[in-house]
Structure 1
């Protein structure tokens, strides 16, 4: 595990997703935890990643990795 904490203030949970913004397209993009911490990304725990909402007029894009079934 990469052992990073959620970027939300006062949250001590382990980060599982990375949030980035695409300002030109008014998008908030949530995907799997980036392998390297970026100054332009925000690491989020599962709860904060699931509850993320965007400002009016923006869209949230969620990228998920699929595990092996079976």
Structure 2
């Protein structure tokens, strides 16, 4: 079963999972997790590309090997 983007009113299919590491002030964006994560957010390609972090935080983006990343 395909998962949908967690953003309100977005009907697109999720392709990435966003999680937060509060201790290190870090947002981690990676490939869609194999199973839904209770504290993660599944995002479509558009919302994953637009993801930013609060001031003082960093975003770590993991890319699947072999995939071309247009945001690099």
Q: Note whether the superposition's TM-score is higher than 0.5.
A: yes
Deviating 4+ runs (over 6 angstroms): none
1:40 aligns to what? Answer: 39
Structure 1: segments with no counterpart, 5+ residues: none
TM-score (normalised: structure 2): 0.89
TM-score, normalising length: structure 1? 0.91
Question: How large is the Cα RMSD of the aligned pairs?
Answer: 1.2
Per the alignment, residue 31 of structure 1 pairs with 30
The answer for unaligned runs of 5 or more in structure 2 is: 68-72
Query: 2:57 is matched with which residue?
Result: 58
How far apart, in 2, do the equivalents of 1:22 and 1:46 lie? 22
